[in-house]
Amino acid sequence: MKIPYYPGCTLNTVAKDFDLSAKTSALAMGFELAELPQWNCCGATFPLTPDNIIALTAPAKVLSNARLAGDTLTTLCSVCYNVLKRTNKVIRDDKERRSTINGFIEADYDGSLNIIHFLEILRDRIGFEKVKKAVKKPLNGLKAASYYGCMLLRPFEDMGIDDSEAPMIMENLVTALGAEPVTFPNKIECCGAHLAMNNEDIVTRLSGNVMTSAVNSGAEIIVTTCPLCHYNLEKSQPKVAESTPGYKNVPIVYFTQLLGLALGQNEAGLGFDKNQWDARPLLKKKGLL
């Protein structure tokens, strides 16, 4: 099974480990992420004003190209997923904006694409039960906290991947992989997002809240779906450790890295070497590597 795949800019640059581990583990699960032959940046933010149509043209271009490759499109980055899914909904439901956008991008796209996240493929198309059966090396004893952030879940009416206030999709995956899910109160709080550019203090505080909350709840490792969350957590960890007595740095990995590991894939194809806080010592200690 080949599924058309939109990596987005980040997965081609700072989050290569996400891209690599996703492709590896997809193959292990019996499907292939077929990268679109032609794609551009999704725009990285969904405009909050309805008349800001120009901001919708970049994602619309991605969608109209993707439609040529099939009726489904999958993606990994939470921001890309958010922007593409919401833009697709606008094009599908709002006739007026659809025709304006199509005029801009010189296309005739009708919003008929089905945008699904990699997690949805695992849950809805394959099923976590089957994932569990495919696990070769269960991640026994690994206490993993699933951190969702904002973009994957909200706004609920547009995203609908899971309950936006009490999501369980990642915990269920982690459980299927044999690890021990750690729930923590800040799992859907913001990491600080783009404020990384101009106000690091806020990012440090917010990401710090997420990490300390996870660690205090007993997490040994934090799992994410979002390259931006990943970046912010990794980058702010030294400052958090500095200001929080007794805090010990934890590895922050993508869910696909753990998935690949549990499916018995070679470490080389999972990009563990690219994480700022190396997960390998922990995994070795647990006998998983």
Partner 1 sequence: MPRIGVFVCQCGNNIAATVDTKKVAEEMKNLPGVVFACDYKFMCSSPGQDMLKNAIKDNKLDGVIVSACSPHMHEKTFRKACESAGLNPYQCEITNIREQCSWVHHDKTKKAGTLKSADLTRMTIERLKKNKPLAKIKIPVKKKAIVIGGGIAGIQAALDIAEGGVDVIIVEKEPSIGGNMARLSETFPTMDCSQCILTPKMVEAELHERITLYTYSEIEKVDGYIGNFTVQIRRKSKYVDEERCTGCGECIEKCPFKVDSAFELGMTKRKVIYTPFPQSVPNVPVIDAPNCTKIQKDKCGVCAIVCGPKCIDFKMEDKIVTVEAGAIIVATGYQLMPNERFGEYGYGRIKDVISGMQFERLASASGPTGGEIKRPSDGKVPRSVVFIQCAGSRDEKKGVSYCSKVCCMYTAKHTMLYSHKVHHGQSYVFYMDIRAGGKRYEEFVRRAIEHDNAMYLRGRVSRVYERDGKVLVQGADTLSGNQVEIEADMVVLATAIISRDGADTLAQKLSIGYDKYKFYNEYHPKLKPVETVTAGIFLAGTCMGPMDIPDSVAQGSAAASKVLSLFSADEMTREPITAIVNKVTCNSCWDCLTACPYSAIERDAVKNRQGVITKWLAKVNEGVCQGCGVCVAACRSKSIDLRGYTDEQVFAAINAF
CA dihedral 21, 26, 27, 29 (to 10 degrees): 130
Decide: is 165 part of the binding site for partner 1 (CB under 8 A).
Answer: yes
- The stretch among 32-40, 90-98, 100-108, 182-190 that binds partner 1 (CB under 8 A) is 182-190
Nearest to 75 by CA among 129, 120, 44, 40: 120
Q: What is the DSSP letter of 94?
A: -
Determine the Cα–Cα distance for residues 200 and 191; give it in Å rounded to an integer: 11
- For strand 114-117 and strand 2-6, is the pairing parallel, antiparallel, or unpaired? unpaired
Give me the least distance between CB of 149 and partner 1, in Å please: 14
Among 185, 218, 238, 264, indicate the residue that binds partner 1 (CB under 8 A).
Answer: 185
> Least distance to partner 1 from the beta carbon of 185, Å?
3
In order, the DSSP letters of 121-178 are IIIIII-HHHHHHH-SS--TT-EEEE--TTTTT-SHHHH-SS-SSS--HHHHHHHHTT
| 145-153, 164-172, 243-251, 267-275 -> range binding partner 1 (CB under 8 A) | 164-172
Among 32, 93, 108, 163, binds partner 1 (CB under 8 A): 163
Q: Near partner 1 by CB under 8 A, which window of 54-62, 67-75, 157-165, 191-199?
A: 157-165
The C-alpha atoms of residue 201 and residue 37 are separated, in whole angstroms, by 40
Nearer to partner 1, 153 or 282 (CB): 153
The C-alpha atoms of residue 254 and residue 223 are separated, in whole angstroms, by 5
Q: How far is the CB of 89 from partner 1 (least distance, A)?
A: 16
CB of 166 to partner 1, least distance (A): 5
Q: Are 66 and 36 a contacting pair, CB within 8 Å? A: yes
Q: Is 201 in the site for partner 1 (CB under 8 A)?
A: no
Query: Cβ–Cβ contacts within 10 Å for residue 183, how many?
Result: 14
Of 168 and 268, CB closest to partner 1: 168
Tell me if 35 contacts partner 1 by CB under 8 A: no
Rounded Cα–Cα distance for residues 234 and 253 (Å): 10
Strand partners, 74: 5, 116
CB of 177 to partner 1, least distance (A): 24
Q: Which is nearer to partner 1, 20 or 153 (CB)?
A: 153
164 near partner 1, judged by CB under 8 A: yes
Does 106 interact with partner 1 (rule: CB under 8 A)?
no
Nearby residues of 165 by Cβ (< 8 Å), 6 or more positions away? 188
- Is 158 a binding residue for partner 1 by CB under 8 A? The answer is no
Q: Minimum CB separation from partner 1 for residue 188, in Å?
A: 8
CB of 152 to partner 1, least distance (A): 16
Residues interacting with partner 1, by CB under 8 A? 163-166, 185-186, 189, 216
